[in-house]
A = this chain, B = another copy of it.
Amino acid sequence: MTPGPVQLPQEVLNNMALPMEHHRTPEFIALWNRTLANLKRIFNTEQNVFIHTSTGSGGMESALVNTLSPGDHVIAVTSGKFGERWADMAETFGARVTRVEVPWGKAARVAAIEDALRTHPDTVAVLCQACETSTGVLHPIREIARAVSKSKAILLVDGITALGALPMPMDEWGIDVLVAGSQKAFMLPAGLSFISFSKKAWTRVEQAKCPRYYFDIRKEKAANDNGESYFSSAVTHVRALELVLNIFLSQGLERVYGRIQTLSRATLLAAGEMGIEVFPESPSPSLSALVIPEGIDGQKVRAEMEKNDAVIVMGGQDQLKGKIIRIGHMGAIRDEDLLLTLKSFAATLNRLKPGTVSEERIIAALNKAAEVLRESPMVAMKVALA
């Protein structure tokens, strides 16, 4: 029940156990091209989507090295661990970085980004997480994109804990570079990152002077235009990706997003019933970060939930260590998985500090969650027949 890696559907696991194929066979090449085409539908873009064999952080590096030159001025929205990472990464590659610091748990304010763009008219790129996984906040990407589009800067969005979990239409919103990762809403193990560049971003790709080879999107584009990948493909991951995309598209993206939204709503309502505070001011549907009540060590909560109930959630990172737990809503989550998680959480709080949540509140919370979950049942992990 973590915000990634997520629980994989059995169908995906079975798919990963199929015999190896060579990535240069006509069969795999056909699958590769179908998969790239289907990824465009998740990104909602007319542009190419590319696959790197890397974790999401590799995709974040690709976004930078393909669009920046040393000395470029960049605005980085930092609102948690992954925002900090992206800003550090940009500095590593020689960018001059101005951080728009957002208190952890708060959503970025568009006006603050507009101010920074006015103060630094030489800004060539704005970096922002869609969902900051470390705090569970969802930033107003659509509005940020509108603001950035009025400048000469491009908007780079880390959609790792967002894409596939909620609508993020790249072209319509005007996102210039969008990055995603396999181990979140795409229900795969870590190992692939996905990235797409808008037309505006492509002009930067041609000019960018950051040295790059493994993540050089020009090489990958030339190979893809020729129907293949530039490097060896992570065949097992790509085949399982095809399966997941077929599930998404045949079941309908609205239903996929709806289910995640429902898991989120059930969790937040249950937390409310139990008197548990929600950490972020605008929670992303992809995960819920809940505040550990005063006087309880959140690291113990996490460990006790695993030990006693075999429920694995994540705690807080860095400054939030011990202060929150994070429950993921992506992946193959059954109703009973979430209900057990909520029950285990409440029981663990009471074990560590008796009387934290009353029996009545727990029952009310679970009833409320169950009621909400009924509205949008788990998406069938099957490819619907045409």
Contact = CB atoms under 8 A, between A and B. Distances in A.
A38 interface: no
A45 interface: no
Contact of A190 (B2, B7, B70, B233): B233
Interface size class of A (residues with CB under 8 A): 35 or more
A254 B213 CA distance: 36
Contact of A189 (B57, B210, B216, B236): B236
Interface stretch (A48-56, A143-151, A264-272, A359-367): A48-56
A8 interface: yes
A380 interface: no
A275 interface: no
Interface stretch (A13-21, A134-142, A241-249): A13-21
Given A23-B5, A25-B312, A92-B211, A190 B17 contact: no
A234 B55 contact: yes
Copies assembled: 2
A17 B14 contact: yes
Nearest to A216: B92
A237 interface: yes
Given A22-B314, A191-B53, A214-B58, A232 B5 contact: yes
Given A5-B20, A5-B22, A55-B53, A93 B234 contact: no
Contact of A54 (B24, B53, B211): B53
Contacts of A169: none
A278 interface: no
A213 B5 contact: no
A305 to B, nearest CB: 12
Given A54-B53, A93-B211, A214-B58, A189 B5 contact: no
Contact of A236 (B2, B16, B58): B16
Interface in A61-88: 61, 70, 88
B213 A312 contact: no
Interface in A25-46: 25
Contacts of A314: 22, 24
Contact of A232 (B16, B19, B190, B312): B190
A47 B4 CA distance: 32
Nearest to A2: B22
A214 B179 CA distance: 15
A191 B234 contact: yes
A17 B16 contact: yes
Interface of A: 2, 4-8, 13-14, 16-25, 53-58, 61, 70, 88-89, 92-94, 181, 183, 189-191, 210-216, 231-237, 306, 312, 314, 331
Given A17-B17, A190-B232, 19 more contacts: A2-B22, A4-B232, A7-B19, A7-B20, A14-B17, A20-B331, A22-B314, A23-B190, A25-B312, A53-B55, A53-B190, A54-B214, A55-B232, A57-B231, A61-B213, A92-B216, A93-B211, A190-B234, A190-B235
